[in-house]
Structure 1
Amino acid sequence: MAKLTYLAITSLDGYIEDADGGFGWAAPDAEVHAFVNDLERPVGTHLYGRRMWETMEVWQTIGEQPGLDAVEIDFAQVWRAADKVVYSRTLDAVSTPRTRLEREFDAAAVQRLKDEAERDLSISGPGLAAPAFRAGLVDEVHLFLHPVVVGGGKPGLPRGLRIDLDLVDERRFASGVTYLHLRTR
């Protein structure tokens, strides 16, 4: 059975966006980006909410522009190689290859995906991840904590839900970003 992982880049106080919806403070440097690329490489299917997919779909066309770092080109290739499922009640269609649209998150359907998948799955965005956590579907969490306190915004982890975790690994990057790899109990 494949694992379902949740990856979030957050402020030290646990937000993926600040109160104004900004997340420029979370842009990874080359060292962190390369590490994320290696975490994402084994993922066969990404599960996205509409807003996260709209943020990520730019990677479909990145790759041939002048001035790109090798780490960005690598991530674009990793992203394009994976299947995507976008959960949205408002989108009429999705525009990227290897992508399908689902209207509702169905925990039983995601469990079947996990059972049948040959490669791991990832779920992105705290709104979509919350019902997956509630259903006990998330196996691992990868958190990248940036050394900034933004004071409010969109939380990176579900609120009102207790999740017991075991620390598997940690790493500190030169930029001050701290990585935590956690496994759900």
Structure 2
Amino acid sequence: MRKIMITTAVSLDGYMEGPGRDISWHRVDAELHRHLNDLLAPLSAFIDGRVTHQLMADYWPTAGEDPAASREIADFAEIWLSKKKYVFSRTLQEDRWNTEVVREFDPEWVRELKATSGADMALGGANLTAQFMRHGLIDEYRLYLNPVVVGGGTPLFPPDLTMDLRLIETRPFGQGVVELTYRPGPNRS
């Protein structure tokens, strides 16, 4: 069975985005970008909400062509372009970049997708992530804790959700970012 993982930056006060969808505080240096590229390259697909997909589609298709782009940017552009993309949207009309639009969130459809053969998948998008959390569809949480407090915005975890997570691994990066890897289930001593 394929796993679904979330890889997201999070502030010390628990936000994925600051007020006004601000992500300028995300600290992604070359070391962290190489790590993310290595993590995401073997995956089979990106599963995103419309907003996240459109942000990605506005930048990554041509990012690698920029002569000023770093090797890490160019590498991720290739990764993003090469992967299957499932986008949950009722309004998006997209057929570029190997994208399949999924009109309605159906937990059973997601379970069937996970049961198909292939490599693991990455999940993105605040609202979609919350729906996946509520239905227990996320197998691994890779949180990149940034040493900033943003004071508001989009929380990583919905305020009405309670869940147990088990810490699997920690890894520090430059600029004070720490990767925290969790899987569902209670910590056991």
**How does the TM-score come out when normalised to structure 2?**
0.93
Alignment-mate amino acid for residue 84 of structure 2: D
Cα deviation for residue 95 of structure 1 reads: 5.0
Contact 2:27 2:146 in 1 (8 A): no
Aligned to 1:37: 37
Aligned to 2:152: 152
- Measure the CA separation in 2 of the matches of 1:104 and 1:116: 19
- Measure the CA separation in 1 of the matches of 2:95 and 2:159: 32
Alignment-mate amino acid for residue 96 of structure 1: R
Indicate yes or no: 2:78 matched with 1:77.
Answer: yes
Give the ranges of 4+ consecutive aligned residues of structure 1 lying more than 4 Å apart after TM superposition: none
Aligned to 1:162: 162
Alignment-mate amino acid for residue 73 of structure 2: E
TM alignment of 1:117-156, pairs within 5 A: 117-156=117-156
Aligned to 1:103: 103
Aligned residues: 184
Q: For the structure 1 residues 2 and 75, does the alpha-carbon distance in structure 2 shift closer, same or farther, using more than 3 Å as the test?
A: same
Indicate yes or no: 2:58 matched with 1:53.
Answer: no
Aligned-residue sequence identity (percent) comes to 40
Cα deviation per residue 1:17-61 (whole Å; 9 max; x = unaligned)? 111321111141111111111111121011110100011112122
- Measure the CA separation in 1 of the matches of 2:163 and 2:82: 31
Q: 3-state DSSP class of the match of 2:175?
A: coil
RMSD: 1.2
**How does the TM-score come out when normalised to structure 1?**
0.95
- Measure the CA separation in 2 of the matches of 1:15 and 1:40: 22
- Measure the CA separation in 2 of the matches of 1:183 and 1:172: 19
- Measure the CA separation in 1 of the matches of 2:158 and 2:140: 14
